[in-house]
Amino acid sequence: MERRTGLRGTTDFPVRAYDGFSCKELRAVALSSSGILLRHAVAPRGPRPLYCNLELSLPERLRGVKVLARSVRVDGCLEAFRFLEAPDSDRLTLAEHLDVLYRRAALGPDEDRCRALYEAQFEEISA
Protein backbone atom coordinates (compact mmCIF):
# COMPACT_ATOMS: atom_id res chain seq x y z
CA MET A 1 0.00 0.00 0.00
CA GLU A 2 1.47 3.31 -1.10
CA ARG A 3 0.67 6.20 1.26
CA ARG A 4 3.23 8.79 0.17
CA THR A 5 2.16 12.37 -0.28
CA GLY A 6 4.69 14.93 -1.39
CA LEU A 7 8.35 14.73 -2.30
CA ARG A 8 10.66 11.98 -1.13
CA GLY A 9 14.37 11.86 -1.85
CA THR A 10 17.29 9.51 -1.46
CA THR A 11 19.98 11.21 0.57
CA ASP A 12 23.06 10.61 2.72
CA PHE A 13 23.98 12.75 5.72
CA PRO A 14 24.71 12.18 9.42
CA VAL A 15 21.94 12.20 12.02
CA ARG A 16 22.21 12.19 15.81
CA ALA A 17 19.42 10.42 17.67
CA TYR A 18 18.81 11.23 21.37
CA ASP A 19 16.40 8.80 23.02
CA GLY A 20 16.69 10.13 26.58
CA PHE A 21 19.32 7.59 27.59
CA SER A 22 21.92 7.67 24.84
CA CYS A 23 23.04 9.44 21.70
CA LYS A 24 23.51 7.42 18.51
CA GLU A 25 25.20 8.41 15.25
CA LEU A 26 23.10 7.26 12.28
CA ARG A 27 23.00 7.92 8.52
CA ALA A 28 19.98 9.23 6.62
CA VAL A 29 18.96 7.03 3.68
CA ALA A 30 15.70 8.67 2.54
CA LEU A 31 13.86 11.84 3.52
CA SER A 32 10.34 13.17 3.04
CA SER A 33 8.46 16.10 4.52
CA SER A 34 6.79 13.78 7.04
CA GLY A 35 9.61 11.41 8.01
CA ILE A 36 13.04 9.92 7.51
CA LEU A 37 14.63 6.51 6.99
CA LEU A 38 17.84 5.99 8.99
CA ARG A 39 20.56 3.34 8.81
CA HIS A 40 22.06 1.99 12.04
CA ALA A 41 25.62 0.61 12.10
CA VAL A 42 24.23 -2.48 13.87
CA ALA A 43 20.60 -3.65 13.79
CA PRO A 44 18.73 -2.27 16.83
CA ARG A 45 17.56 -4.84 19.37
CA GLY A 46 15.09 -4.74 22.17
CA PRO A 47 12.28 -2.28 22.73
CA ARG A 48 12.50 1.05 20.93
CA PRO A 49 11.87 4.35 22.72
CA LEU A 50 8.48 5.88 21.95
CA TYR A 51 9.92 9.31 21.04
CA CYS A 52 13.33 10.40 19.85
CA ASN A 53 14.97 13.79 19.27
CA LEU A 54 16.78 13.82 15.93
CA GLU A 55 19.39 16.31 14.84
CA LEU A 56 19.79 16.23 11.06
CA SER A 57 23.13 17.56 9.75
CA LEU A 58 22.10 18.64 6.27
CA PRO A 59 25.09 19.21 3.98
CA GLU A 60 24.03 22.73 2.96
CA ARG A 61 23.42 23.98 6.52
CA LEU A 62 25.84 24.94 9.29
CA ARG A 63 23.43 24.23 12.14
CA GLY A 64 21.53 21.00 12.57
CA VAL A 65 17.80 20.66 11.99
CA LYS A 66 16.09 19.42 15.16
CA VAL A 67 12.87 17.41 15.11
CA LEU A 68 10.91 15.26 17.53
CA ALA A 69 10.16 11.93 15.87
CA ARG A 70 8.50 8.59 16.55
CA SER A 71 9.88 5.25 15.41
CA VAL A 72 7.33 3.59 13.12
CA ARG A 73 9.20 0.61 11.65
CA VAL A 74 12.46 -1.33 12.02
CA ASP A 75 13.76 -3.60 9.26
CA GLY A 76 17.24 -4.95 9.98
CA CYS A 77 19.61 -1.96 10.12
CA LEU A 78 16.96 0.44 8.78
CA GLU A 79 14.56 2.37 10.99
CA ALA A 80 11.78 4.67 9.79
CA PHE A 81 10.74 7.72 11.83
CA ARG A 82 7.71 9.98 11.46
CA PHE A 83 8.25 13.65 12.30
CA LEU A 84 5.99 14.86 15.11
CA GLU A 85 7.24 18.35 15.93
CA ALA A 86 9.72 20.76 14.40
CA PRO A 87 10.07 24.55 14.38
CA ASP A 88 8.67 26.20 11.24
CA SER A 89 12.16 27.33 10.22
CA ASP A 90 13.44 23.74 10.37
CA ARG A 91 10.44 22.47 8.38
CA LEU A 92 11.25 25.07 5.73
CA THR A 93 14.89 23.92 5.69
CA LEU A 94 13.74 20.32 5.15
CA ALA A 95 11.45 21.41 2.32
CA GLU A 96 14.34 23.29 0.66
CA HIS A 97 16.58 20.23 0.98
CA LEU A 98 13.88 18.04 -0.61
CA ASP A 99 13.51 20.55 -3.43
CA VAL A 100 17.27 20.38 -4.06
CA LEU A 101 17.14 16.57 -4.08
CA TYR A 102 14.19 16.63 -6.48
CA ARG A 103 15.94 19.06 -8.85
CA ARG A 104 19.13 17.03 -8.73
CA ALA A 105 17.24 13.85 -9.62
CA ALA A 106 15.32 15.60 -12.42
CA LEU A 107 18.49 17.03 -13.95
CA GLY A 108 20.50 13.84 -13.75
CA PRO A 109 24.15 13.45 -12.81
CA ASP A 110 25.28 16.83 -14.17
CA GLU A 111 26.72 18.05 -10.84
CA ASP A 112 28.01 21.41 -12.07
CA ARG A 113 24.60 22.38 -13.40
CA CYS A 114 22.90 21.22 -10.18
CA ARG A 115 25.39 23.11 -8.05
CA ALA A 116 24.86 26.31 -10.07
CA LEU A 117 21.07 26.05 -9.68
CA TYR A 118 21.43 25.33 -5.97
CA GLU A 119 23.74 28.30 -5.37
CA ALA A 120 21.49 30.61 -7.41
CA GLN A 121 18.48 29.56 -5.34
CA PHE A 122 20.14 30.47 -2.04
CA GLU A 123 21.58 33.72 -3.42
CA GLU A 124 18.00 34.77 -4.21
CA ILE A 125 16.85 33.88 -0.69
CA SER A 126 19.70 35.74 1.03
CA ALA A 127 19.38 38.83 -1.21
| Domain covering 8-127 in this structure, CATH number | 2.40.10.220
List the domain boundaries for the chain: 8-127
Q: How far is CA 64 from the centre of its chain?
A: 11
Q: Could you tell me which residue, 18 or 120, shows the higher pLDDT?
A: 18
Residue 95: HSE in the Cβ half-sphere, 13 Å Cα cutoff: 8
**pLDDT above 80: residue 116:** no
Beta strands in 8-125 (DSSP E): 8-10, 14-18, 23-32, 35-39, 51-56, 65-75, 78-85
If phi > 0 it is left, if psi is from -120 to 50 it is alpha, else beta; for residue 45 that is: beta
Say if pTM beats, i.e. exceeds, 0.85.
no
Q: What is the mean pLDDT of residues 43-64?
A: 85
Q: At 66, is the pLDDT very low, low, confident or very high (cuts 50, 70, 90)? A: very high
Q: What is the DSSP letter of 77?
A: T
